[in-house]
Amino acid sequence: MTQNLVNLNVNPCKMCMPMGSATAFYGIARCMTILHGSQGCATYIRRHMATHYNEPVDIASTSLTEEGTVFGGEKNLLQGLKNMVELYRPEVIGVATTCLAETIGEDVERYIETFHEQHPELAVKIIPVAAAGYGGSQYEGYWHALRSVVSHVDMDASPNQYLNIIPGLLSPADVRALKDLLDQLQVPYLLLPDLSDNLDGVHTEHYERLPQAGITLAQISKMAGSRATLELSLLNQPAYSPGTYLRDTYGVPLYRLNLPGSLRDTDALISVLKELGAQVPERLRQARGRFLDAMADSHKYNAAGRAVIFGEPDFVLTTARLCCENGLLPVLCATGAHCKDLAPQLEADLRDCARRFHVAAYKVLDDCDFDTIEREAQSLGANLMIGSSDGRRVAQKLKLPLIRCAFPCHDQVGGQRVRTILYDGCLSLLDRATNALLNQRETGFRQQMYDLYYKSPAEARFPAGRLSEQTAQTDPAAAAAKAKASELQRKTAEHPCFNGCGGQFARMHLPVAPACNIQCNYCVRKYDCANESRPGVTTEVLTPQQASEKYRYVKSRLPELKVVGIAGPGDSLAEWDKTRETLELIRQFDTEVTFCLSTNGLLLPQYADQLARLGVSHVTVTLNTIDPAVGAKIYQHVEFMGKRYTGETAAALLLANQLAGIRRVCVLGLVCKVNIVMLKGINDQQLGQIVQAVKDLGCHQTNIMQMIPVAGAVFEHMPLTSNKEIMQVRRDCSHILKQMNHCQQCRADAIGTLGQDRSREFCHYHAKAADAGPAKSPAATATANRLPAVLPAAVTAASLPHPEPEAAADWSPALRFAVATRSGILVDQHFGQVSDFYIYDYQDQTVCFRERRQVGPYCTADSCDGHGGGQREGAQVHRMQEILKAVADCSGVICLRIGEAPRLQLEERQIQITTTFDQIEKAVAAAAQQLHAARKGA
Amino acid sequence: MDIRTALLDKYGARVYKNRKDHILTVPSDGSMPVVGANSRSLPGIMTERGCCYAGCKGVVVGPIKDVVTITHGPIGCGYYTWGTRRNKARPSIEGQRQENMPMLNQYMFSTDMQEPNIVFGGEKKLRKACEEAIEIFHPKAIFICATCPVGLIGDDIHAVAASIEEDYNVTCVAFSCEGYKGVSQSAGHHIANNQIMRHIIGSGSRPLPTPFTVNILGEYNIGGDGFYEEALLARCGIHVRSAFTGNASIEEIASAHQANLNLVMCHRSINYIADMLKTRYGTDWLKVNFIGIEATKKSLRDIANYFGDQELLDQVEAVIAEEEARYAEDFAYYRSKLSGKTAGLYVGGSRSHHYQLLLKDFGVSTVLAGYEFAHRDDYEGREVIPSIKLDADGKNIETITVQPDPAQFRTYLTPEGAQRLKETHPEIELNDYKGMIVDMEAGALVDDDMNQYETEELMRLVKPDIFFTGIKDKYVVQKGGTLCRQLHSYDYSGPYSCFQGAANFARDLVASLYTPVWGMIRVPWKSRPAILAHTAVGGED
């Protein structure tokens, strides 16, 4: 999930554990499953499996009601088992628990014992599996069931000639192909689970209620004496691995292999089988040769493919490898399951493939939902989707072909007959992928040619997809227009303020333009208040030279930096030369970065064309009214062409220029956003009209903001606008135009993502480049003189450069404090939970922020020993040492609370401990005075 | 041995004792039997019923198109209700197109609870999820539906909803519809009804374009049924304020109390709201049925007679004549292909009743019918409601009582008007429903909560030509050689409502009965057929 959406899963790319367990049990002969929980679980799972397999899916339920949840579900389970046995006579019953049973803590193993005691006459093997929905996805449920099968069936460990084959979830047709292969190779095998027939049935004269095919109990019991186990899953956790259990308990050698869904993975399977004595027949060599022949035939089409592959981890892994070896780059590999191993397993393949085709970006994501997949597919330029039918909504929206080859396939038939493994199966999947790409080209070709040669470039419409872009390039003008449009689209998607969600993209405001040509009644431009975050505030003002160097420095440490913005701190057009020079300097070494600018709009008509030429693509204009009479209440004065205007004249002048400027930038194709500060009693009744007006001018979106009251401003005491009110207004206006809902009202020197401002890490950067010329701003100079050293962005405790005595010679702080804070404003964190300390210096009664020092938190929810860490050993002790090292040069530590063990440690080092909840500055001053007093006393 | 005895014969004593009250034959003396409905399903015998959450989120709340419905729980529950009921919707309010309306019913939102959330509680995660939903989707309302673990770990979802509403000025309603509550989906319907009544209905106001404004309660617009109904009513001059809840927007529901008549389609899932609207606002309700040609005609006439406007009555007759003429040829052809066949029906709340009437239009007789989660009143009529004894499971589901709203209470009919309607049109059952059984033929079988085992046995014993049910039992029936069509999602077909829908339905049925495959099941190298499908006879003529 994305940074924005961490608590809300939007359109999940996974199902729950009991679903996987029930599927696994379908590979056992004469076996039935009962879910211990409320009956909805069984009903829903039956519905989903039946729709995919087009077969009866019989899963019973213990039908727990409120009574069962209060008094325990034993009665229901015992009765359920009895009813099943009486009506169906199964040989094996799988009992999978559900969220409900696991949450109330049902002891299923004991209930099963009770059942056998009560009914000694009923010979049925009952296998329990813990499958809480919150414990994992259907992937984990499948493997956990198989693990439970081998650990619960009575085993016969006497050696036999069989090989255990345990594949990940495959379609029945794929399982049949796997069995055919093993027969061809003349290997005696035990296949668990054998899904070949039960879920892809044959029309027979008599319908059998119990699944007749599948591995039998007797066969399972022989798995302990097999020559080896081949587990066809690399990503399954050892705790859920049946092969690992057989190896550890009975000494059956274990081979863990990928699902054979690619040439290399099939080769690997065959060579292991050969090693174990299989005979490789000529037919198989031919199948491999045919696959290779086909790969060579279709490579030229595949190279244009940019695939999204999604689904269960094993499927994604092997399918991505198939695509890579065919030059079809999987730009996004995504699984809904938690699977940290997927990315490392794929990295080499993806890197190699991407490099061959000169593609920069690809991603591997786990714990991912379709909302994320959609966004990523778009930004990574995918033109093909491979996975289950759950991707159909994304495919439809993005107009991508979707190859349905994994569970579930709900909107088409044949999900149970899809082939994806072994040489012929890989080939069949590859053909489908290639044909999807070809079809895309074929169906769009005529339209493209028509658009290109019979319509003007401006009218030309191109279907999405990389393939079409290649044809577009035959007409340079059209190609350029198209490229520009798609570039702008990409830039908008990567611009945190314009893309509607912020996201992982970072931006940087360069404070190069301090002067302003208008005075708004809500504004007092005050620099260097590190704890204040609002527009117009900055710690320092940079020269264009400094700004471009700072950009270069920050970019090297913040690769997600996509946007450079100039937001004053005054008006970015009031000192046009500085703004222009800054952007020119940066463009010299970075042709990619998005230029963005915010202005009051007074000089916009004058500079709009120059902005476009400079490559500025996004402009924000603050426009608070379209009525000069109202404007007169908002603006004190406007300075234009060397003259100062006041009252309605000023407002009318400003407005005329704003509207003309907005129209001009929109005509030039720039993306324009309008910020509106909602002022109660002044412009709050006409917000809709403003939004409509700027929409008519061609604006992209508006951002209605709360006014931040500032001491000393005319509007200091104006009533505040609540979140509720602002939400309501935005909602109302969203009918007219797209609204920005995530504005953070950033500082003029903000750096980082909208969610996480990192400007403080970089705030004194230019001081390092002191020889580039003295800073002009007195405030900035003062700061630069006060702080000698520059710290890189990420400071880890291990690499923490403690101030060398030489560097600090002319400035030895009297007192230094490490502060535990999460907000950066208040002392609000427990010592043990600090992930980075804020270091403050106190000198001459001035509190001064120095740096942040990163340390790992000492306490985590899962490592708490209830003694403040006093009972800990090993890694925790090491971490403690690191933290102590990080604060070694401090005179005191200020935190919300602290555990006993670290308190002793700090006291031993004579570091004063202050526990408080206060503003940082006040707390530091208080602690310093306390320390002074103590020292004097001593 | 009659069929009922033969069916129950296979059961052990305990199961027999339970199931015998659910299975009965419609008496030939016209008396009304008692159905042991709405009681617990037996563990281990595959019931087709769902859970309380399914009834609340899956049925009633889920289709509302401009609301973010967050499933608070582990991922499965939410995933399984994602788009599965094919509730169609389009961006409109009362038929007016809305350019910027987000179609949120296509999405599935879940808090995707993990183990730590179960251990430490999930309220914080839920609150954040709501905030994220607001930030990204700007919905007009957020609904929170609980799953099993939520009630067990004691998350106070109502408090979270209240605080979100307070902080963000977004309507936020929580539904305590944990899966284990009640005995079937039905409990979830009731919980959803209560909360919608409590928090949504009455909170909005929209002008009434015509006095002939109605709500269609219990129309979930599966396969687009509601679209046909709305269009047909519009042609007659009847305006639909809101449908509960197919293609519904929150604004429509909020102002539903202003309509002058409520039409009830699915009696089971929505009768609570119909009842409460009558008590609080005085709005009469009328059980209608737009499934079936004759049923549609009766429903239209009943509505027109209720409003008692001659112009409306004339318009209704004109529309009926026009529609019948348009489909006369189709209807005659399909009747010739279907007449004399027998059918079994096993669907949810009211469909097993509705479709009997549609089948009858084409000469198909229903020999077996049952409901998944109905109560006695759905079988026997509402007059039995006072005599239904609440069992432990029923008592756990809250029943709310509403008081008349003095400011907004008004009835369309004056007391004299109501009296006159009763006298002139005794066939109109105002604020009443007579149940399914009165429309069934003597000797037909009724099976409540028919499980997988009974379904399979009944196919052998009753041998209907066609069986209508859902996806879960579809393949068992088909493997046994009986044609089976889904009536939950119409096998991706539909709409089946009103006149054109009847033609669609008959077309699908004829296509299924006369497909060549039934004739090919005879394996050429065997002398006798592998499967003796009753439908094979149909395939040969």
Q: Tell me which of B385 and A206 has the higher pLDDT.
A: B385
Would you state the structure tokens that stand for residue A500, as one six-digit string?
């509607």
Read off the pLDDT band of A784 (50, 70, 90).
very low
**Contact flag A44-B76 (C-beta cutoff 8 Å):** yes
pLDDT over 90, % of chain A: 47
B287 at interface of A, judged by CB pairs closer than 8 A: no
Residue A872 confidence (pLDDT) above 90: no
The per-residue pLDDT for A177 is 97
A396 at interface of B, judged by CB pairs closer than 8 A: no
CB contact set of A740 (below 8 Å; sequence gap of 6+): A497, A498, A500, A673, A701, A702, A703
Q: Which domains does chain A have, with CATH numbers?
A: 17-275 (3.40.50.1980), 302-441 (3.40.50.1980), 506-759 (3.20.20.70), 794-937 (3.30.420.130)
How far away is chain A from the Cα of B309, in angstroms, using its nearest Cα? 39
Chain B, 196 to 255: residues with Cβ < 8 Å from chain A are: none
Q: How does pLDDT run across A92-144, given as a tens digit for each residue?
A: 999 999 999 999 999 999 999 999 999 999 999 999 999 999 999 999 999 99
Residue A5 confidence (pLDDT) above 70: no
**Contact flag B80-A47 (C-beta cutoff 8 Å):** yes
User: What ipTM, to 2 d.p.?
Assistant: 0.93
B13 at interface of A, judged by CB pairs closer than 8 A: no
- What element of type H or E holds A292? helix A282-302
Cα separation, B23 vs B369, in Å, equals: 10
Cα separation, A512 vs A571, in Å, equals: 10
Bridge-based pairing of strands A671-678 and B261-264 is unpaired
Chain A, 331 to 350: residues with Cβ < 8 Å from chain B are: 336
Q: Residue A3 corresponds to which amino acid?
A: Q
From first CA to last CA, the distance across chain A in angstroms is 56
Q: Mutate which of A23, A32, A38 to test chain B, going by most B C-beta atoms within 10 A?
A: A38
Cα separation, B145 vs B438, in Å, equals: 37
**Contact flag A132-B41 (C-beta cutoff 8 Å):** no
CA A80 to chain centre: 43
**Contact flag B51-A41 (C-beta cutoff 8 Å):** yes
- What element of type H or E holds A817? strand A815-819
Taking residues A261-279, report their average pLDDT. 96
Q: How does pLDDT run across A439-456, given as a tens digit for each residue?
A: 988 887 777 777 777 765
Peptide bond into A801 cis (omega under 30): no
Chain B, 473 to 492: residues with Cβ < 8 Å from chain A are: 473-476, 479-480
CB contact set of B340 (below 8 Å; sequence gap of 6+): B363, B364
DSSP letter (8 states) at residue A804? P
DSSP of A636-651, one letter per residue? EEEEETTEEEEHHHHH
Chain B, 414 to 433: residues with Cβ < 8 Å from chain A are: none
Bridge-based pairing of strands A635-640 and A616-622 is unpaired
The per-residue pLDDT for A213 is 95
Taking residues A372-391, report their average pLDDT. 95
The per-residue pLDDT for A787 is 34
In order of A87, A406, A688, B168, the CA distances from A729 in angstroms are 63, 45, 9, 12
Chain B positions in Cβ-Cβ contact with residue A44 (cut-off 8 Å): 50, 54, 76-77, 80-81
**Contact flag B44-A731 (C-beta cutoff 8 Å):** no
The per-residue pLDDT for A555 is 83
A731 at interface of B, judged by CB pairs closer than 8 A: yes
DSSP of B283-331, one letter per residue? -EEEE---SSHHHHHHHHHHHHHHHT-HHHHHHHHHHHHHHHHHHHHHH
The mean pLDDT of chain A is 85
Taking residues A595-618, report their average pLDDT. 89
The per-residue pLDDT for A815 is 86
B49 at interface of A, judged by CB pairs closer than 8 A: yes
- Closest residue in chain A to residue B530, using alpha carbons only: A205
Taking residues A216-228, report their average pLDDT. 97
Under DSSP, is residue A819 helix (H, G, I), strand (E, B) or coil?
strand
Bridge-based pairing of strands A815-819 and A836-843 is antiparallel
B460 at interface of A, judged by CB pairs closer than 8 A: no
Which residues of B are catalytically annotated?
Answer: 51, 54, 85, 189
Cα separation, B498 vs B324, in Å, equals: 11
Sign of CA dihedral A644, A649, A653, A659: positive
Provide the whole-model pTM.
Answer: 0.71
Cα separation, A319 vs A109, in Å, equals: 38
Mean pLDDT by 10 residues, chain B (541 residues): 89 92 94 94 93 96 96 96 89 92 93 94 96 92 97 96 96 97 96 97 96 97 95 97 96 97 97 97 97 98 97 97 96 97 93 97 97 96 93 89 94 94 95 96 96 93 94 90 91 93 97 89 56 44 36
- What element of type H or E holds A273? helix A263-275
DSSP letter (8 states) at residue B344? E
Q: Please answer whether residues B146 and B72 qualify as being in contact, where contact means their C-beta atoms are separated by less than 8 angstroms.
A: yes
A5 at interface of B, judged by CB pairs closer than 8 A: yes
DSSP of A109-162, one letter per residue? HHHHHHHHHH-TT---EEEEE---GGG-BHHHHHHHHHHHHHHHSPP--S--S-
A3 at interface of B, judged by CB pairs closer than 8 A: no
DSSP of A488-501, one letter per residue? HHHHHHH-TTTSSS
Q: Which domains does chain B have, with CATH numbers?
A: 52-182 (3.40.50.1980)
Pick from A81-90, A812-821, B204-213: least confident = A812-821
The per-residue pLDDT for A452 is 73
Phi, psi angles (nearest 5°) of residue B486 = -80, 135
Bridge-based pairing of strands A163-167 and A228-232 is parallel
Q: Please answer whether residues A52 and A416 qualify as being in contact, where contact means their C-beta atoms are separated by less than 8 angstroms.
A: yes
- Closest residue in chain B to residue A743, using alpha carbons only: B135
How far away is chain A from the Cα of B521, in angstroms, using its nearest Cα? 9
Burial class (CB in 10 A: 0-12, 13-18, 19+), B340: exposed
Residue A781 confidence (pLDDT) above 50: no
Pick from A190-199, A863-872, B405-414, B425-434: least confident = A863-872
**Alpha helices, DSSP H only, in A558-638?**
576-589, 604-614, 628-634
Chain B positions in Cβ-Cβ contact with residue A21 (cut-off 8 Å): none
Cα separation, A409 vs A315, in Å, equals: 15
The per-residue pLDDT for A354 is 92
Q: How does pLDDT run across A618-658, given as a tens digit for each residue?
A: 999 999 999 989 999 899 888 888 788 888 889 998 998 99
**Contact flag B84-A4 (C-beta cutoff 8 Å):** no
Q: How does pLDDT run across A134-189, given as a tens digit for each residue?
A: 999 999 999 999 999 999 999 999 999 999 999 999 999 999 999 999 999 999 99
Chain B, 137 to 176: residues with Cβ < 8 Å from chain A are: 138, 140, 147-149, 151-153, 167-170
Pick from A11-15, A666-670, B40-44, B532-536: least confident = B532-536
Chain B, 52 to 81: residues with Cβ < 8 Å from chain A are: 52-54, 70, 73-81
